[in-house]
């Protein structure tokens, strides 16, 4: 019987391309909600903003971008 579980799609791209995609996504979210990512992160930690799936994705991309951009 074939498995229903899909294998994850693996994309290989230069880190500069990944950084560009993350910058675009984070900028769109900041524009959409008219606030900086760091402010949203603080609000989630403080409990003044609920961490929805969308905010979780936003902050994951934001922290990934920060990590890649600093070369850490």
Tens digit of pLDDT for each residue in 33-57? 999 999 999 999 999 999 999 999 9
d(CA 25, CA 31) in angstroms, rounded, equals 10
pTM over 0.85, yes/no: no
Q: What is the pLDDT of residue 4?
A: 81
Contacts of 38 (CB under 8 A, 6+ apart): 62
Spell out the domain ranges in the chain: 15-70
The packing angle between helices 15-33 and 37-46, to 10°, is 70
Residues in the chain: 72
């Amino acid at each position: 019987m074939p498995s229903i579980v899909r294998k994850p799609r693996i994309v290989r791209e230069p880190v500069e391309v990944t950084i560009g995609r993350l910058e675009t996504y984070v900028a769109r979210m900041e524009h959409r909600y008219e606030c900086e990512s760091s402010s949203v992160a603080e609000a989630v930690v403080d409990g003044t903003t609920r961490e929805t799936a969308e905010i979780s994705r936003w902050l994951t991309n934001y922290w990934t971008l920060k990590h890649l951009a600093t070369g850490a």
